Amino acid sequence: MNSELGRRDFMKAAAVGAAAATLPASSYGKVLGANDRIGVAFLGVGGRCQAHIGHVLRLQKENKGVAPVAVCDIWDGNKEVGRGLYYSAERCGLKADDAAHVVKDYRKLLDMKEVDVVCVASPDHWHAKMSIDGAAAGKDVYCEKPMTRTIEEAHAVVDAMKKYNRVMTVGVQSMANPVWRMAYEYITEGKIGHVAQAQTQYYRNSSMGQWRYYKLTKDMNPSTIDWDMFLGYKFNVNGVPLGPTPDKMPFDRAVYGQWRCYWPFGGGMFTDLFVHQTTHMIAAMGVRYPARVIGGGGIYLEYDGRDVPDVATVVADYDEGCQLIITATMINDHIIDEVIRGRLATLKFDRRDGKLGFEVLPQKLGGGPAVPKSAAGEKGEFISGGFTDAKDADTYALWENFITCVRGKNRDTLSTPELGAAAFTTVNLGVQSYRKGEVMFWDKEQRRGASGNGSWAAHWEKRSKDHGKPNEVIGYHGDAKGSELFPPDYQKLGGPWVNGKDPGEKV
């Protein structure tokens, strides 16, 4: 099949495969709306969604009561690149001319009784609108990360899921691995003492430019792509249009096929790659929303027309008295360790025998100055998460958990929208800081970012002067051993002389 495969060709191909379809259209109303069968509609069937289709087909093959029932995309599709509407319809056993279940406007699918779940895998700027509309229509939602494009949208989604009492999973596949929960339990028992700092990374090195590996083809054109629908300017969340108008953003294959490179539709590595790492790290650390965020970086090599940086770092500080560093470059793949540092020990996440776990590296508390040491030779107990590291096993496990929660009407999935909103807020404040050149603060009451001032440093300085106690992470129930200082006796000689009186005269 050639690269300009269109609707007619897909219809021919679908006709050949129709006999093998396990659920022809005539059977939808009979079984897919039944209590024991969950029907999934895919909204946005690009590259990542192909994995989701594969997992749902696997669940169907394993007789787990799940089946694909509908697809939506604004591009006809192309079998050569393996994406788009009619290609995906064929994969799902749907006929290309089934105008009820194979559509370019997702709204046509929301009132269908056979649709129980929507899988939102569209570009980021559509995530919130599709998720909210799905919830309002009584559908449960599996939404790819990042959960949304803006912080305001993220909280609109959280509110909608609560309002309509819908089950939602945010597609951060690493959350299927129990290692993050195990680390959280280890930390909150006080075994590493006060949590001070964590770091994580997502390094890559692409010779063609990050996200430019999504192939562009001639059949991506205005006759096969609904450009107005892609832009989303006719739609809004809480009055804010989803995207720019065509006069501001004329049709461009690169913008359509490689949208992660452009601010109106995504946030580059900040909101694509950093969301993965941030989500599981804040879950493990026992923190959620940051208090203060700084974003740095720039486009230092990939001068190919993109908006987003190829080098970036986010530094997030938390009211719990700890810090998270998320860093990467797209032009070098030499990683740094993924760790959580406490006063008594460091948790270093690593793989042993194909399974992710964490090594516990004890700290030796010393009383004097020391030069930076090398990590070479450090050894500690390794605690395995016991989760297979097979390709995409985590995504399948996330789907299994989601389907189980849908059946049980349990909103507490492995990757909740509440966790997703906190992680997204962290990295998006990094975007704002980078683009504005400002330190960003999180306004808890208004649920929005605000430009920084000197209050953060002043707050901690005051606590120090008052000889206060450390804050601890959510759920911490360890003793104070890892949160105490042990000052030498001569520190009692310190302090201000008031009216000429020596504060240490009683020493």
* 1 within a domain of the structure (yes/no): no
Burial of 417 (0-12, 13-18, 19+ CB in 10 A): buried
Q: Which residue, of 156, 174, 192, is where some domain finishes? A: 174
| pTM beyond 0.85 | yes
Structure tokens at 500: 């000429």
88 and 155 share a domain? yes
Residue 501 maps to a domain: no
Q: Is the domain of 76 the same as that of 152?
A: yes
Whether 283 and 161 share a structural domain: no
Q: Read off the pLDDT of residues 312-369 as tens digits, 9 standing for 90 and up.
A: 999 999 999 999 999 999 999 999 999 999 999 999 999 998 899 999 999 988 777 7
Q: What is the pLDDT of residue 35?
A: 53
Q: Is there a single domain that holds both residue 57 and residue 84?
A: yes
**248-285 pLDDT, tens digit each:** 999 999 999 999 999 999 999 999 999 999 999 999 99
| Residue 439 within a domain | yes
Q: Express each pLDDT in 40-62 by its tens digit.
A: 999 999 999 999 999 999 999 99
Q: Distance between CA atoms of 125 and 201, rounded to whole angstroms?
A: 24
Which position has the token pair 């559908």? 139
> Would strands 66-72 and 38-43 be described as parallel, antiparallel, or unpaired?
parallel
User: What CATH number should be reported for the domain holding residue 404?
Assistant: 3.30.360.10
Distance CA 259, CA 254 (A): 7
Query: Are 154 and 192 members of one domain?
Result: no
Query: Is residue 38 situated within a structural domain?
Result: yes
Q: What range does the domain containing 394 cover? A: 175-214+264-364+378-482
The gap from C-alpha 123 to its chain's centroid, in whole angstroms, comes to 13
- Is there a domain that residue 43 lies in? yes
**DSSP labels, 256-324:** HHTGGGSTTT--HHHHTHHHHHHHHHHHHHT--S-SEEEEEEE-SS--SS--S-SEEEEEEEETTTEEE
Residue 493, amino acid: L
SS3 of residue 13 by DSSP: helix
| Whether 457 and 338 share a structural domain | yes
Please indicate, yes or no, whether residues 136 and 282 belong to a single structural domain of this protein: no
**Residues 126 and 197 grouped into a single domain:** no
Spans of the chain, pLDDT less than 70 = 1-35, 507
- Output the pLDDT for position 25: 37
Three-class SS of residue 341? Answer: strand
Residue that is written with structure tokens 């700092």 in the block: 197
Could you give the CA distance from residue 136 to residue 106 in angstroms, rounded to a whole number? 14
Residue owning tokens 């989803």: 242
Enter the DSSP assignment of 383: E
Q: What are the two backbone dihedrals, phi and then psi, of residue 312, each rounded to the nearest 5 degrees?
A: -155, 150
Asked if 28 contacts 69 with a C-beta cutoff of 8 angstroms, the reply is: yes
pLDDT for position 230: 97
Q: How far apart, in whole angstroms, are the C-alpha atoms of residue 28 and residue 116?
A: 12
Same domain, 157 and 184: no
Is 498 within a domain? Answer: no
Q: Do 202 and 126 belong to one domain?
A: no
Report in angstroms the alpha-carbon separations of 339 from 199, 242, 456.
6, 37, 25
> What pLDDT is stored for residue 462 in this prediction?
85
Contacts of 288 (CB under 8 A, 6+ apart): 282, 418, 419, 422, 474
Helices (H), 6-46: 7-17
CATH number at residue 54: 3.40.50.720
110/204 same-domain check: no
One domain, residues 139 and 288: no
**Strand partners of residue 68:** 40
How many distinct structural domains can be found in the chain? Answer: 2
